[in-house]
């Protein structure tokens, strides 16, 4: 499958590991009139099989780490992974938690990290744009 074709319109699936929900609300905020990412062709889909990219939020914990790996495998390849929020990037204050085994990028490969607690919607859009540029450059 030609990765470059993806950059015309990215279909994203939102998967939450163990978030505080803030990043997830800001992701949904992207669909609302102020930011309206649908005009860029970024569409939130209901099934991981239709997704070109996974937006992952939250800290992986013992119950969710297997599920997030399962989801990644279910997505049609190539599937890009965007770690949204500082928790998905590096667990920050939850590093010492007894219920969190490891960072997200030890479970699935991450292509773009969007730090912030939560990252502003503008930061998320910037992250997706960087991803599109990265994918286009790799093809050259």
Partner 1 sequence: MKIENKLEKIKERFSKVIVSLEEKTKNRIYIEISPDCIFEIANFFKELNFRFAIASGVDTPSGIEILYHFSDDKSGKIITLRTLIKDKKDPKIQSITPIIKGAEWIEREIWELLGVNFVGHPNLKHLLLKDDWPEGKYPLRKEKNE
Partner 2 sequence: MSRKIIPIGPYHPLQEEPEFFRLYVEGEKVVDIDIVLGYMHRGIEELSEHKHFDQVTFTVERICGICSNSHPFAFVNAVENLANIEVPERALYIRTIVAELERLHSHLLWLGLAGHFIGYNTVWMWAWKYREPILDCFEMISGNRNHYAMMKIGGVRRDILDEHILFLKKSLKEVEKGISIFEKAVRNDPVIGARLKNVGILTKEEAINYCVVGPTARASGIDIDVRRDDPYGAYDRVSWNVIVLEDGDIFAKTLVRILEMYESVKIIMQCLDKMPKGEIFKEIREIPAGEGIGRVEAPRGECFHYIRSDGTNRPTRHKIRAPSYMNVASNKIAAVGGTISDAAITLAAVDPCYCCTERTVVLDKNTNNKIISAEELIKLSYEKTKKLKRALYGDFIS
Report the interface residues with partner 2, using CB under 8 A. Answer: 13-29, 32-34, 44-48, 59, 61, 63-64, 67, 71, 93-94, 96-100, 117-118, 120
Residue number with CB closer to partner 2 (28 or 102): 28
- List binders of partner 1 among 61-120 (CB under 8 A): 62-63, 98-99
Residue number with CB closer to partner 2 (125 or 135): 125
Residue number with CB closer to partner 1 (5 or 98): 98
SS (H, E, C) the chain: CCHHHHCCCCEEEEEECCCCCHHHHHHHHCCCCCCCHHHHCCEECCCHHHCCEEEEECCCCCCCHHHHHHHHHHCCCCCEEEEECHHHHHCHHHCCCCCCCCCHHHCCCCCEEECCCCCCHHHHHHHHHHHHHHHHHHHC
Cβ 61 to partner 1 shortest distance, Å = 9
Neighbours of 95 (CB within 10 A): 11
**Partner from partner 1, partner 2, none binding residue 46, C-beta < 5-8 Å depending on class:** partner 2
Q: Would you count residue 21 as binding partner 1 (CB under 8 A)? A: no
Residue number with CB closer to partner 2 (17 or 110): 17
List of residues contacting partner 1 (CB under 8 A): 62-63, 98-99
């Amino acid at each position: 499958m030609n990765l470059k074709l993806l950059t015309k319109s990215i279909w994203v699936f939102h998967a939450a590991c163990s978030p505080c929900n803030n990043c997830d609300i800001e992701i949904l905020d992207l669909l609302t009139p102020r930011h309206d990412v649908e005009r860029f062709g970024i569409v939130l889909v209901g099934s991981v099989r239709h997704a070109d990219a996974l937006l992952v939020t939250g800290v992986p914990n013992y119950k969710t780490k297997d599920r997030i790996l399962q989801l990644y495998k279910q997505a049609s390849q190539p599937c890009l992974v965007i770690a949204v929020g500082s928790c998905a990037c590096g667990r920050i204050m939850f590093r010492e938690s007894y219920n969190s085994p490891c960072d997200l990028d030890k479970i699935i490969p991450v292509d773009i990290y969007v730090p912030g607690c939560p990252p502003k919607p503008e930061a998320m859009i910037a992250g997706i744009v960087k991803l599109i540029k990265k994918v286009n450059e790799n093809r050259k």
